[in-house]
A and B are shown apart, each in its own frame.
Chain A
Amino acid sequence: MPKKVVSGNYAAAYAAKHARVEVVAAYPITPQTSIIEKIAEFIANGEAEIQYVPVESEHSAMAACIGAAATGARAFTATSAQGLALMHEMLHWASGARLPVVMVDVNRAMAPPWSVWDDQTDSLSQRDTGWMQFYAENNQEVYDGVLMAFKIAETVNLPAMIVESAFILSHTYDIVDMPPQEEIDEFLPPRKPLYTLTDFDNPIAVGALGTPADYYEFRYKIEKAMEEARKVIKEVGKEFGERFGRDYSQMIELYKTDDAEFIFMGMGSLMGTVKEAVDLLRKEGYKVGAAKVRWFRPFPKKELYELAKNVEGIAVLDRNFSFGQEGILFNEAKGVLYNTDAHPIMKNYIVGLGGRDFTVSDIKIIAKNMKEIIEKGKLDREIEWYHLKR
């Protein structure tokens, strides 16, 4: 298997090239820029046949991708934070028109204060747009995620977002295993669109009026597709594992959870640190595990229930916050378990906002705190702003 040492952003660019995307439209924004630079380089060198559409904003970038996808092309873009927020309106157009656009969002904190560092609030703010969301832990998962996202998106006809951490992944170099192009082509055949604007014998109208008599049913269709995506994600993840040796059939990746007393749950790159901490904590006698939520949309409800049944506590690590409520993953996870018989003690740790360093020793402190809570059987507080200078 050919291996390359690349940054997370280059991994995304290589994946787009290997997925044989036909149209890329993007506007540069730190820390996303190097994805698009690399794709431009592929085109300039004649390594890839991609139509690159230079646009004047992220809103137009998504609009161009939607137009391209509506003709039946495979469309790709990438963005970050404020750029993603500017796309927000168009994200609904992509999912509503059932177009499998794939986008990489490089997680970056929302301003002000102006920040270019890692924070999940930008992508999680888009949770209700009908886009699937995959959170990558490392550069390999960015690469694999993009390839799988095209296959899943084109099967269920919904757009998908691959999310990677700003700088922690986007600008950090790591070994990425890239399968030969022929094997990728076998895994990801050319797209079969649901409809195409370029069928001139059968002209269609896209984005027309939906009266109250019809709108409702189309919303339900999107939800049905999300429901189907749960199945497709597992199948594609399994197929990916069989072909390339890395299995993604689990929507939540479990790490040493079988006999765990309590577990850490979170998304994205911080879970790599957590796994390392779990190994060290196990040596110190803590029975802990880690659960990495890979797919946030569709949300892995059944998997979470199966997990929560067997543990006494869950420490939810949120690198994001929904003001006026709590961490977003915490909110979702608690909601899923309410109508079930699984009720572990759950505590929300708000960590790493705006790129604040989150280390193994922090996780050890959290583990101590969780252990105390479980022994007492009572929460000290539900939401902990972990790094706060007191």
Chain B
Amino acid sequence: MNTLFGEKKTKAEKLVFKSVDEYPEAPISLGTTLINFTGDWRTFIPVVDESKCIKCYICWKFCPEPSIYIKEDGYVAIDYDYCKGCGICANECPTKAITMVREEK
């Protein structure tokens, strides 16, 4: 069960290469998606209502980005730095605990 619990990842560090020789042979695990905050793309924002959440983690499984993490208390939370507002989580939630709300910036 422990592996289910995650933490909001905002302090990721970008790999910095100074010369061509420092680069790995193949472009793997560059960490570039961590520094690319895709959260500012969205119009709608998912909001979790914990009173309706039954901790089924269907949203966590369906999220195409690692934008949903599970808190210590077992409820889900959204990492708004990476959530693109696609709405899959709200669509899949069986108890309608997640709603999409227009984001005010």
Contacts and interface: CB of A to CB of B under 8 A. Distances in A.
Interface of A: 96-98, 157, 194-195, 204-211, 214, 217-218, 220-221
A62 to B, nearest CB: 17
B2 interface: no
Interface string B33-54: 1001000000000000000000
Interface in B78-105: none
Given A214-B17, A217-B17, A195 B26 contact: yes
Nearest to A218: B27
15 contacts: A97-B27, A98-B26, A157-B26, A206-B26, A208-B29, A208-B30, A208-B32, A209-B36, A210-B32, A211-B32, A214-B27, A217-B20, A217-B23, A218-B27, A221-B23
Contacts, number: 50
Given A220-B20, A221-B20, A214 B26 contact: no
Contact of B25 (A208, A210, A221): A221
Given A220-B20, A221-B20, A221-B23, A210 B30 contact: yes
Contacts of A209: 30, 32-33, 36
B27 A96 contact: yes
B12 interface: no
Nearest to A99: B26
Contacts of A210: 27, 30, 32
Contacts of A218: 23, 27
B59 to A, nearest CB: 22
B1 interface: no
A194 B25 contact: yes
B20 A208 contact: no
Contacts of A157: 25-26
Contact of A214 (B30, B33, B36): B30
Contacts of B32: 208-211, 214
Contacts of A211: 32, 36
A214 B23 contact: yes
B2 to A, nearest CB: 16
A208 B17 contact: no
A116 to B, nearest CB: 37
A96 B36 CA distance: 21
Given A208-B28, A210-B30, A218-B27, 19 more contacts: A96-B27, A97-B27, A98-B25, A157-B26, A194-B25, A194-B26, A195-B26, A204-B29, A205-B28, A206-B28, A209-B33, A210-B32, A214-B17, A214-B27, A214-B30, A214-B32, A217-B20, A218-B23, A221-B20
Contacts of B33: 205, 208-209
A220 B19 CA distance: 12
Residue of B20, B26, B29 ringed by the most chain A CB atoms within 10 A: B26
A372 to B, nearest CB: 51
B28 A204 contact: yes
Contacts of A221: 20, 23, 25
A208 B26 contact: no
Contacts of A195: 26, 28
A199 to B, nearest CB: 11
B57 to A, nearest CB: 20
B65 to A, nearest CB: 12
